[in-house]
Amino acid sequence: MGIRIIPHSAELSDAVDAFNGRMRAGGSHWGFYTVPVDSWLPQQEGYHVWREYHLAVDDDGLVRGAYALRPQQFWIRGALHTVTDWQGPFTEGAVSPKYAALGLRMVRDMLKKFPNLYSWGHGGNEQPLVQMLEKMKWQLHETPLCLRVMRPARFLRRNNMFRDTVQKRLGLDLLALSGAGSVGLRAMHAGLKLQSRSGGDGRATRGGGATQTTEEPYFHDWTDEVWERCKDQYSALSVRDAATMNLLIRAQGWPPARRLRVSRQGQTIGWAAVLDTKMNDDSRFGTMRVGSIVDCLASPEDAGAVVAAATDYLRECEADIVISNQSHPGWVQGFADNGYLILQDKRLFAASPALTELLSPFDEASRGLHLTNMDGHGPMGL
């Protein structure tokens, strides 16, 4: 039976719903969007970032797989290029060996549409997909998660990451009740901050001067000023001018991020977009209040000041923890300078052969690659 890969449409919504039902019945938690137009980034004339959906449909009109693409302009070594994130592919190969090869075919179809393809976020539970990418000669680059516990007692009692057994729950509750957990976690972050700022070998603490933070209703001329001043300090990053950022983070809708403008001596040095989310029995975060720094831009040398401003803001919001995925060494250092625990190799950046060639030499480009939670699929789950 033949299978063709075509754009999603309203006429196929019921077929996607049936596909999702077969996936659930087979024991898979994966599914796809029944509505054909993306609610976050629909394609619009004059804009250079959007999301589009594609389906694998057999001769009987049954959907057997799906994927999403997010083309966006990137600034790479002084020039604009279209670089595309992909989500999926989700196929019935997850529940039936009959469709085991469909995922590979769909990845190849994505590459035909947009050769400069990347993915930002694959983890251990998707190891077969990672192995497939390795065989296809994709470049794989591990990046860290930055984490800071802001309210230790609530973190110990309310997280789900470390409370998966009765013994662990009792142990963490005891640490929270006794106060020992709070003392230990605060000491850990203070020690990490001191170690990072001293360089671990007595080097002088990084300076910069006092900053002011303003919550803005939208991105404006100051965003363009930061973009023009900073873009050439990175080897590769998605476009972050005012028009693009106002499309990614709107006044209404998802993601409900807050825009923080950070200034020093009357000049905007950078900005951060943050989320403040009250979780409800989340598989990782339990019932914690989770702060996340989902996007940011400044000169790498000012990264620490922007991180400090965003962290202070989220502390005032009474966040229990603050997290952020980052790729650029300067930003990772900025988080470390603010006492964050840097958990290595928590998120995978995978670049297609064409994108790897565009970034060549990759070892050099990776040291200037700026990716945040706003890249890829966006700040899902936060």
The fold adopted by the segment(s) 145-370 is: Aminopeptidase (3.40.630)
Percent residues over pLDDT 70 in the chain:
96
Tell me the mean pLDDT in the region 31-47.
Answer: 94
Number of Cβ atoms within 10 Å of the Cβ of 77: 14
Which amino acid would we find at residue 295?
D
pLDDT in tens, 71-97: 999 999 999 999 999 998 999 999 999
Class of domain 3-114: alpha beta
**pLDDT-derived band at 132, boundaries 50, 70, 90:** confident
CA-nearest of 1, 31, 38 to 16 is: 31
172: Cβ contacts below 8 Å, ≥ 6 apart: 156, 157, 162, 163, 181
**pLDDT-derived band at 129, boundaries 50, 70, 90:** confident
Burial 101-119 (b: 16+ CB within 10 A, else e): ebbbebbebbbeebbbbbb
Q: Identify the residue whose tokens are 């009740």.
A: 177
pLDDT in tens, 114-126: 999 999 976 544 5
Q: What Cα–Cα distance (Å) separates residue 323 from each residue in 12, 279, 291?
A: 38, 14, 7
SS3 string, 310-375, reads: HHHHHHHCCCCEEEEECCCHHHHHHHHHCCCEEEEEEEEEEECHHHHHHCCCHHHHHCCEECCCCC
**pLDDT-derived band at 366, boundaries 50, 70, 90:** very high
Domain 3-114 and domain 145-370, same fold? Reply is yes
CA-nearest of 199, 211, 189 to 302 is: 211
> Which helix (DSSP H) or strand (DSSP E) does residue 274 occupy?
strand 267-278
- pTM of the shown model: 0.93
**pLDDT-derived band at 199, boundaries 50, 70, 90:** low
DSSP-assigned states of every residue in 144-196:
EEEEEESSHHHHHHH-SSS-SSHHHHHHHHHHHHHSHHHHHHHHHHHHHHHHH
Residue spans of the domains in the chain: they are: 3-114, 145-370
Q: Which residues pair with 213 in a beta bridge?
A: 262
Least confident of 126-130, 158-162, 213-217, 269-273: 126-130
202: Cβ contacts below 8 Å, ≥ 6 apart: none
Q: What Cα–Cα distance (Å) separates residue 133 from each residue in 136, 139, 296, 349?
A: 5, 8, 29, 11
The DSSP code for 300 is G
State the virtual CA torsion across 31, 33, 38, 41 in degrees, nearest 10.
-10
